Chains A and B, each alone.
Chain A
């Protein structure tokens, strides 16, 4: 497996896209730190990168990469190599390179300017969302043979989790605003990794004081050990479930 990962990794580095992505993150992060002297506020601005940019880049890049690797995958499948190994190697290589790009691009300036433990949480959320959206990209890729269609599905995933889902959530809150919704919404939040990461981040920052009763309830729940473990667990499910499903489809896919 490591041999195959190595070859894919090498192939990804050749395209230079990952280097561009790293450079983009580096420049944006450094610019934010330069513009604002308060690290807490920079972390807040970086939250947008974590919640929007990292998932979008991850899912689009991973989908395109998967299609560009079709020849390689085909070649490997004619060799005495396990299908799952090929699939997971592809995932590993893509996910690791995207995560490294994110950690280098956002983490190094943070280390340099000092962002503390909230910075660490931010990095964690960014890495997890990268993994989640890479998984979703692989799912989109095995759902169809058509590259354009797959990119469409990938973008739809991104759009759904970044925007459409929140619209539905707002609708639920509006429709049932006469009922106590805290418990319901916290489970609804768990159904969207972007929202979950966002809430975890908001609660880490002291601006959660502005979130009133709902904020206090979430802080109580997610701040407890059980809540923290549960939220990390749910995020991991979001990484594993789409990937496992995609692997299942891939193992029966004709090439």
Chain B
């Protein structure tokens, strides 16, 4: 394993230079968001998005094609870099992951849509094909189908859609989801079981 994604050791993460200021900023924004400041989330998301992107780029360089990168690992690495680790807090981590989940979903959906446009446009050679080739047409469809199904679920029961987003796109575990959504773990479990079955059924109908 090369070293990029493996610094799960908080002590090491704390030493990363040049990111200390950013860490304070992100930590503060997380605290603000937790206290109900929605504006904090707006500032937070691009920061997280950028960091995820940067990390993934760096990690993927030198890998063989089809090497899969685990979202959880990626997000965790971003968290260790962006959030002040001198006062590690479970709540901080959960909320950071929640932001990352939204970012991940957005990344996927944007990419899939771009790819579909590309296909409709007849694959013009001016367009950068590298990114497009990263996911297959089937995967593109799946991403968009899941996204749309999640939107429908959100209309019926927004909390369940959030549970899915946190777990599916962000890799949060039950405890973390419970913390972010302020619901009991039992409820998380029930929501997930139902939402997952609901989504599977929906996706089947689409297919």
Do A and B come together as binding partners?
no
Interface residues of A (CB under 8 A from B): none
B-to-A contact residues, CB < 8 Å:
none
